[in-house]
Structure 1
């Protein structure tokens, strides 16, 4: 029989989060820094890496501040940590990395911070230095003292950095080649504004969605797990962008795409996307699910999300990640029961009980069909016919 601790396991996976002590969240705890980066410039040519010793020639790059809203001491600490990482050469341009920092944002703020950094490959800038070519790149850093799970936003951060690359390509000629002469005023205002608003775009869409949809937020979770085509009307461009990001962060589509190459042409393909319509106006939120009923699993997930302080980005994202993990756990368990049911009738009964208790039976069946063998499909057909005769809902 299905373990009740697994059934509709959103609460069981997330309940401990509410016990955590709440802390203030505000924009002053999030910062940025932009550096010009010469990967092949040695110390003797003016390496400005803060932890390099005067007589060292081993370090083969230069790292110089171009723009930041960190204090001078905090920026120096950040650059020292960053230089240690870059000196090991363990980075891939365009792909973000994370590091923990021991710096302070102010006298009364804890010095525990998380930093995302990315080496940006802009249009090549070749500079002659004593007859030797040097190739200039940039390194962008986003620092947060309040978001401990910043790594959960890797995709969003990498995407956001593509916008920085475009701005840098347009403004690269503004920054002179000599790092010692670079001034913050030389950075284009649009680029500064873009860097300064990173947290609003990358992180705070979760807060805005929860506030805007409120008790209807479970419909977005359901739309994502259903892999539905969401048609949005009446929304502002900002609202539509936020909602699409929310749906994407709840999606388990990457798992589905990994399974698709293994599909047999004779097997069932569920990617005939259902359509869900969302209409927003000033005072109301309306969903038209076209007969698709949100599952209990999604309703519980939405209810839990509303218990979290809306400004607590880390808890919101952790909650959504736990929803995905719980759903995948349920999916794997159903697959295991159905596989056993090919030779064991009691396992078929356990499958039936589990699908009824987990709160997301209809959704799970859709995903089971993606990579099921012909034997499993036969078992599942028998199970679906039994459920239909019993008149039970798996929602």
Structure 2
């Protein structure tokens, strides 16, 4: 078996870590022989051609042979210009026969690097020490979906690196080492654990994520943290603004126990129930986190699409009674009618010239309060 085939297979015997993940932490230096004075402080595109990248291993979960191969790939593949950006990036590991991806990000400490070379000019000399965190995952695609979680993870590493710059002989067993070991468990698998532990109330969990304003209580700290991450990812609070009515102001309490979680008096929509079934389509256990991540992204996208479609129908309904009827039918079949009305009314209230739209929405609001959102089995909108 080749070394390429072994990159992530080598860690399967380590029961303390997930077989799908690995990590590596490097220090790096960018050097250039006899550079132009202006290029030392602000390297330009032409000066980058003469820059060499030096990566020194601090710690890795890979075997020695595999880490060397990965480092060679990283040094040649990594664009030198990207080292001047603090943004994390995701790339494929093309040297392997089995599919793999990795996330890498530049981190800096506040401690200066005073190493100088006689023949080379060190771009980091006298400045902050520089580190590269690499998070490797045995997957063909999907790691880019977790970019925000991995950026958050790297933000957690920064204080440890800035206050106590890691040294090669002191990393094992350190808090930094513990975080690196658990990156996949804490920041990717949380979705799978939420589905596995909370599948009986998954529709309510999705509804809470849309609504927001929750309080999580209990003794299971791991599940509490997982649910909090689930809600933070699934929420639409940054995309839509819900009205501040009494119902939405009321805080939903999630009680976490060893068996899972329960909710205070809380109803979920048919829309959330349907999407819960999508999340459970692979089963309630051992669910692929990348599938779950994409499914929840689609869940959020569908809500936004329905909101926009409903707004267009309301605009037409201002002068067309048939469009008013179609608006009501749309509310019935989308399974999320109350949310659409609430969002549309909230937006109309914030606009100066929206009296016509508000009049239409008030009619729909009053009608649905009396009659509900009666299902219509088949129709064309």
TM-score, with structure 1 as normaliser? 0.76
Does residue 1:354 correspond to 2:330, yes or no? yes
Change (3 A) 1:390 1:92: farther
Bigger Cα displacement from structure 2, 149-158 vs 126-135 = 126-135
Provide the aligned C-alpha RMSD in A: 2.9
Which sections of structure 2, spanning at least 5 residues, go unmatched?
A: 1-11, 35-47, 376-381
Which deviates more, 110-119 or 279-288? 279-288
Asked whether the equivalents of residues 27 and 56 of structure 2 are also in contact (C-alpha less than 8 Å), the reply is yes
TM-superposed CA distance for 1:143, in Å, is 0.8
Match of 2:201 among 213, 216, 222: 216
Equivalent residues of 2:109, 2:162 under 8 A apart: yes
Given candidates 187, 205, 225, the residue that maps to 2:190 is 205
Question: What secondary structure sits across from 2:23 in the alignment?
Answer: strand
2:59 matched to which residue of 1? 67
Instruction: Compute the displacement of 1:387 (Å).
Output: 2.2
Query: What is the match of residue 136 of structure 2?
Result: 143
Kept after mapping to 2: 8 A contact 1:93/1:121: no
Kindly indicate whether residue 356 of structure 2 is the aligned counterpart of residue 388 of structure 1.
Answer: no
Picking from 118, 142, 158, the partner of 2:105 is: 118
1:35 and 2:26 aligned: yes
SS at structure 2 position matched to 1:326? helix
Alpha carbons of structure 1 residues 361 and 215: separation in structure 2 relative to 1, 3 Å: same
From 177, 193, 208, give the equivalent of 1:192.
177
Are 1:102 and 2:94 an aligned pair? Answer: yes
- 8 Å CA contact 1:338–1:376 kept in 2: the answer is yes
Aligned to 2:220: 236
Aligned 1:145-160 pairs, distance under 5 A: 145-146=138-139, 148-160=141-153
SS of the equivalent of 2:238 reads helix
Larger relative contact order (CA 8 Å, sep ≥ 6): 1
Aligned twin of 2:263: 287
Alignment check: 8 A CA contact 1:225 1:363 kept: no
- State the 1:73 CA deviation: 4.2
* CA positional deviation for 1:99: 0.7
What is the match of residue 280 of structure 2? 306
Residue 236 of structure 2 is matched in structure 1 by 252
State the distance in 2 between where 1:149 and 1:391 align. Answer: 40
Separation in 1, partners of 2:163, 2:210: 39
Q: Deviations over 1:44-91 (max 9, x none)?
A: 9xxxxxxxxxxx981244222211112344333433443345444135
TM-fit CA distance, 1:220: 1.0
- Pairing 1:225–2:210 present: yes
- How far apart in 2 are the matches of 1:64 and 1:43? 20
Once the two structures are TM-superposed, the CA of residue 128 in structure 1 deviates from its matched residue by 4.2
**In the aligned structure 1, how far is the partner of 2:18 from the partner of 2:263?**
32
Question: Structure 1: any 5+ residue segments left out of the alignment?
Answer: 1-23, 45-55, 105-109, 176-182, 261-267
- Separation in 1, partners of 2:329, 2:93: 49
Deviates more, 1:200-209 or 1:60-69: 60-69
1:302 and 1:235 map into 2 onto residues whose CA distance is 25
3-state SS of 2:199 partner: helix
Aligned partners of 1:42 and 1:62 also within 8 Å: no
Structure 1 residue aligned with 2:44:
none
Q: Distance in 1 between matches of 2:72 and 2:27?
A: 15
1:260-275 pair list within 5 angstroms: 273-275=249-251
Say whether the 8 Å CA contact 2:341–2:365 is kept in structure 1. no
CA 1:101–1:275 in 2, change beyond 3 Å: closer, same or farther? same
**1:336-377, CA deviations, whole angstroms, 9 ceiling, x for partnerless residues?**
111221222221111100001110111122222332242322
TM-score (norm 2): 0.79
- Paired with 1:141 and 1:221, the residues of 2 have a C-alpha distance of 32
Work out the CA distance in 2 between the residues paired with 1:187 and 1:141: 16
